[in-house]
Amino acid sequence: MHSEIVDTLRCLGAHDESWLVAAADHTEDRHIMRGVLGCPVCRARYPIDAGVADFTEGRGASSAAATEGPPFEDDDAMKLAAMLDLTSGGGYVLLLGRWARLAHALRELAPVMVIVANPPAGVEMGNGVSGISIADRVPLAAGSARGVAIDVGSSALADSAIARVRPGGRVVGEAEVELPAGVELLARDERHWVGARRGGGPLLRLVRGSAPPATST
Protein backbone atom coordinates (compact mmCIF):
# COMPACT_ATOMS: atom_id res chain seq x y z
CA MET A 1 0.00 0.00 0.00
CA HIS A 2 1.85 3.07 -1.26
CA SER A 3 1.57 6.05 1.08
CA GLU A 4 0.19 8.23 -1.73
CA ILE A 5 -2.60 5.76 -2.38
CA VAL A 6 -3.71 5.93 1.26
CA ASP A 7 -5.13 9.38 0.48
CA THR A 8 -7.42 7.81 -2.12
CA LEU A 9 -8.86 5.10 0.12
CA ARG A 10 -12.30 5.58 1.66
CA CYS A 11 -14.12 3.90 4.54
CA LEU A 12 -16.91 1.49 3.59
CA GLY A 13 -18.97 2.52 6.62
CA ALA A 14 -22.49 3.92 6.24
CA HIS A 15 -21.52 7.58 6.55
CA ASP A 16 -20.29 10.38 4.31
CA GLU A 17 -17.10 9.57 2.40
CA SER A 18 -14.19 9.56 4.83
CA TRP A 19 -10.48 9.13 4.32
CA LEU A 20 -8.53 6.69 6.45
CA VAL A 21 -5.60 7.11 8.80
CA ALA A 22 -2.72 4.69 8.32
CA ALA A 23 -0.59 3.23 11.12
CA ALA A 24 2.42 1.38 9.71
CA ASP A 25 4.22 -1.47 11.48
CA HIS A 26 6.52 -2.21 8.56
CA THR A 27 7.28 -0.01 5.55
CA GLU A 28 9.39 -0.70 2.47
CA ASP A 29 10.22 2.15 0.11
CA ARG A 30 7.05 4.18 0.86
CA HIS A 31 4.87 1.05 0.79
CA ILE A 32 3.11 0.04 3.98
CA MET A 33 3.61 -3.72 3.99
CA ARG A 34 2.04 -4.33 7.39
CA GLY A 35 -0.18 -2.06 9.47
CA VAL A 36 -3.74 -0.91 9.82
CA LEU A 37 -6.03 1.70 8.31
CA GLY A 38 -8.52 3.32 10.66
CA CYS A 39 -11.63 5.41 10.02
CA PRO A 40 -11.83 8.57 12.17
CA VAL A 41 -15.64 8.63 11.76
CA CYS A 42 -16.85 5.11 12.61
CA ARG A 43 -13.64 3.57 14.01
CA ALA A 44 -13.64 0.76 11.42
CA ARG A 45 -10.24 -0.90 11.03
CA TYR A 46 -8.83 -2.40 7.85
CA PRO A 47 -5.64 -4.43 8.31
CA ILE A 48 -2.72 -4.34 5.86
CA ASP A 49 -0.75 -7.55 5.44
CA ALA A 50 1.91 -8.32 2.82
CA GLY A 51 1.14 -4.92 1.32
CA VAL A 52 -2.54 -5.71 0.71
CA ALA A 53 -5.25 -3.82 2.60
CA ASP A 54 -8.19 -6.02 3.59
CA PHE A 55 -11.56 -4.33 3.00
CA THR A 56 -13.61 -7.54 3.05
CA GLU A 57 -14.74 -6.97 6.65
CA GLY A 58 -14.37 -10.66 7.35
CA ARG A 59 -16.55 -11.76 4.43
CA GLY A 60 -13.70 -12.98 2.25
CA ALA A 61 -12.68 -11.63 -1.13
CA SER A 62 -15.02 -12.01 -4.07
CA SER A 63 -14.46 -15.03 -6.27
CA ALA A 64 -12.32 -12.88 -8.53
CA ALA A 65 -9.24 -13.91 -6.57
CA ALA A 66 -9.55 -17.49 -7.77
CA THR A 67 -9.95 -16.69 -11.45
CA GLU A 68 -7.02 -17.93 -13.47
CA GLY A 69 -8.08 -17.46 -17.10
CA PRO A 70 -5.93 -17.79 -20.20
CA PRO A 71 -2.30 -16.57 -20.02
CA PHE A 72 -1.52 -13.03 -21.07
CA GLU A 73 0.36 -12.49 -24.30
CA ASP A 74 3.69 -10.67 -24.61
CA ASP A 75 2.26 -7.38 -25.81
CA ASP A 76 -0.75 -7.32 -23.49
CA ALA A 77 0.78 -4.77 -21.09
CA MET A 78 1.41 -2.46 -24.04
CA LYS A 79 -2.14 -3.02 -25.24
CA LEU A 80 -3.51 -2.35 -21.75
CA ALA A 81 -1.54 0.90 -21.48
CA ALA A 82 -3.00 1.99 -24.82
CA MET A 83 -6.54 0.99 -23.89
CA LEU A 84 -6.23 2.90 -20.60
CA ASP A 85 -4.82 5.87 -22.54
CA LEU A 86 -1.74 6.14 -20.32
CA THR A 87 0.17 8.50 -22.58
CA SER A 88 0.81 10.92 -19.71
CA GLY A 89 1.96 10.30 -16.15
CA GLY A 90 0.25 10.88 -12.82
CA GLY A 91 -2.78 9.50 -11.07
CA TYR A 92 -3.65 5.87 -10.65
CA VAL A 93 -5.43 3.03 -12.43
CA LEU A 94 -7.37 0.15 -10.87
CA LEU A 95 -6.79 -3.40 -12.12
CA LEU A 96 -9.32 -6.01 -11.00
CA GLY A 97 -8.61 -9.72 -10.62
CA ARG A 98 -6.22 -11.32 -13.04
CA TRP A 99 -5.37 -8.01 -14.75
CA ALA A 100 -3.08 -7.59 -11.72
CA ARG A 101 -0.59 -9.89 -13.48
CA LEU A 102 0.21 -6.98 -15.81
CA ALA A 103 0.61 -4.41 -13.00
CA HIS A 104 4.43 -4.28 -12.92
CA ALA A 105 4.79 -4.41 -16.69
CA LEU A 106 2.32 -1.53 -16.91
CA ARG A 107 4.38 0.46 -14.41
CA GLU A 108 7.42 0.08 -16.65
CA LEU A 109 5.46 1.55 -19.56
CA ALA A 110 3.66 4.40 -17.84
CA PRO A 111 4.50 6.49 -14.73
CA VAL A 112 1.19 5.90 -12.97
CA MET A 113 0.32 4.32 -9.66
CA VAL A 114 -1.43 0.96 -9.90
CA ILE A 115 -3.98 -0.46 -7.47
CA VAL A 116 -4.73 -4.15 -7.86
CA ALA A 117 -7.94 -5.54 -6.36
CA ASN A 118 -8.15 -9.22 -5.42
CA PRO A 119 -4.87 -10.02 -7.20
CA PRO A 120 -4.05 -13.66 -8.01
CA ALA A 121 -1.36 -15.36 -5.94
CA GLY A 122 2.16 -14.44 -6.96
CA VAL A 123 1.63 -10.75 -7.71
CA GLU A 124 4.15 -8.81 -5.58
CA MET A 125 3.19 -5.55 -3.89
CA GLY A 126 5.58 -2.61 -3.96
CA ASN A 127 7.28 -0.47 -6.60
CA GLY A 128 4.11 1.58 -7.12
CA VAL A 129 1.76 -1.40 -7.05
CA SER A 130 -0.70 -1.36 -4.12
CA GLY A 131 -3.14 -4.13 -3.27
CA ILE A 132 -6.66 -4.20 -1.86
CA SER A 133 -8.84 -7.17 -1.02
CA ILE A 134 -12.53 -6.43 -1.50
CA ALA A 135 -15.90 -8.17 -1.27
CA ASP A 136 -18.63 -6.21 -3.05
CA ARG A 137 -17.57 -2.55 -2.94
CA VAL A 138 -14.49 -0.63 -4.00
CA PRO A 139 -13.08 1.54 -1.15
CA LEU A 140 -11.74 4.38 -3.29
CA ALA A 141 -12.79 8.01 -3.66
CA ALA A 142 -15.54 8.58 -6.23
CA GLY A 143 -14.28 9.74 -9.61
CA SER A 144 -10.61 9.49 -8.61
CA ALA A 145 -9.21 6.81 -10.95
CA ARG A 146 -7.83 7.44 -14.42
CA GLY A 147 -9.20 4.12 -15.54
CA VAL A 148 -10.14 0.59 -14.56
CA ALA A 149 -9.70 -2.86 -16.09
CA ILE A 150 -12.31 -5.55 -15.30
CA ASP A 151 -11.80 -9.29 -15.69
CA VAL A 152 -14.51 -11.94 -15.96
CA GLY A 153 -14.25 -12.91 -12.29
CA SER A 154 -14.82 -9.29 -11.24
CA SER A 155 -17.96 -8.66 -13.28
CA ALA A 156 -20.03 -8.24 -10.12
CA LEU A 157 -17.74 -5.40 -9.03
CA ALA A 158 -17.99 -3.53 -12.34
CA ASP A 159 -20.55 -0.90 -11.31
CA SER A 160 -18.79 -0.08 -8.05
CA ALA A 161 -15.44 0.10 -9.86
CA ILE A 162 -16.72 2.37 -12.63
CA ALA A 163 -18.04 4.85 -10.06
CA ARG A 164 -14.39 5.35 -9.01
CA VAL A 165 -13.36 6.41 -12.53
CA ARG A 166 -13.32 10.08 -13.44
CA PRO A 167 -15.83 11.08 -16.14
CA GLY A 168 -14.31 10.36 -19.55
CA GLY A 169 -11.83 7.94 -17.98
CA ARG A 170 -11.18 4.61 -19.64
CA VAL A 171 -12.91 1.36 -18.76
CA VAL A 172 -11.42 -1.87 -20.14
CA GLY A 173 -13.10 -5.27 -20.01
CA GLU A 174 -12.42 -8.81 -21.09
CA ALA A 175 -14.69 -9.68 -24.01
CA GLU A 176 -16.90 -11.89 -21.84
CA VAL A 177 -17.67 -9.01 -19.47
CA GLU A 178 -20.95 -7.33 -20.36
CA LEU A 179 -20.52 -3.66 -21.26
CA PRO A 180 -21.75 -1.84 -18.13
CA ALA A 181 -24.34 0.90 -18.29
CA GLY A 182 -22.58 4.22 -17.97
CA VAL A 183 -19.77 3.21 -20.30
CA GLU A 184 -19.64 4.35 -23.92
CA LEU A 185 -17.99 1.75 -26.15
CA LEU A 186 -14.94 3.04 -28.04
CA ALA A 187 -13.53 -0.17 -29.54
CA ARG A 188 -13.84 -3.93 -29.29
CA ASP A 189 -11.90 -6.95 -30.55
CA GLU A 190 -12.24 -10.69 -29.90
CA ARG A 191 -10.49 -10.49 -26.50
CA HIS A 192 -11.25 -7.07 -25.02
CA TRP A 193 -13.39 -3.98 -25.21
CA VAL A 194 -12.55 -0.42 -24.20
CA GLY A 195 -14.94 2.37 -23.37
CA ALA A 196 -15.15 5.73 -21.64
CA ARG A 197 -17.10 6.49 -18.51
CA ARG A 198 -20.02 8.74 -19.39
CA GLY A 199 -20.94 11.86 -17.48
CA GLY A 200 -19.54 15.22 -16.53
CA GLY A 201 -18.74 16.40 -20.05
CA PRO A 202 -19.90 19.75 -21.46
CA LEU A 203 -22.47 18.07 -23.73
CA LEU A 204 -24.13 16.27 -20.85
CA ARG A 205 -24.34 19.44 -18.79
CA LEU A 206 -25.97 21.19 -21.76
CA VAL A 207 -28.57 18.43 -22.10
CA ARG A 208 -29.29 18.45 -18.41
CA GLY A 209 -29.72 22.19 -18.38
CA SER A 210 -32.49 21.94 -20.95
CA ALA A 211 -34.25 18.94 -19.47
CA PRO A 212 -34.98 19.27 -15.78
CA PRO A 213 -35.08 17.61 -13.39
CA ALA A 214 -31.49 16.50 -13.70
CA THR A 215 -30.49 13.19 -12.22
CA SER A 216 -27.26 12.75 -10.41
CA THR A 217 -24.64 10.26 -11.52
Residues that bind Zn ion (CB under 5 A): 11, 13, 39, 41-42, 44
- By beta-carbon proximity to Zn ion, the closer residue of 19 and 72 is 19
Close Cβ partners of 44 (under 8 Å, ≥ 6 residues apart)? 11, 12, 13, 38, 57
**Type of residue found at 169:** G
- The least CB distance from residue 10 to Zn ion, in Å, is 9
How many angstroms separate the Cα of 84 from the Cα of each of 22, 27, 96? 29, 30, 13
- The least CB distance from residue 214 to Zn ion, in Å, is 29
- By beta-carbon proximity to Zn ion, the closer residue of 11 and 158 is 11
- By beta-carbon proximity to Zn ion, the closer residue of 14 and 121 is 14
- By beta-carbon proximity to Zn ion, the closer residue of 48 and 84 is 48
- By beta-carbon proximity to Zn ion, the closer residue of 43 and 121 is 43
In eight-state DSSP terms, residue 9 is B
- The least CB distance from residue 60 to Zn ion, in Å, is 20
- The least CB distance from residue 52 to Zn ion, in Å, is 20
Close Cβ partners of 103 (under 8 Å, ≥ 6 residues apart)? 95, 114, 116, 119, 123, 129
What is the end-to-end Cα distance of the chain in Å, rounded? 29
- The least CB distance from residue 148 to Zn ion, in Å, is 23
Rounded-to-integer distance, Cα 151 and Cα 23, Å: 32
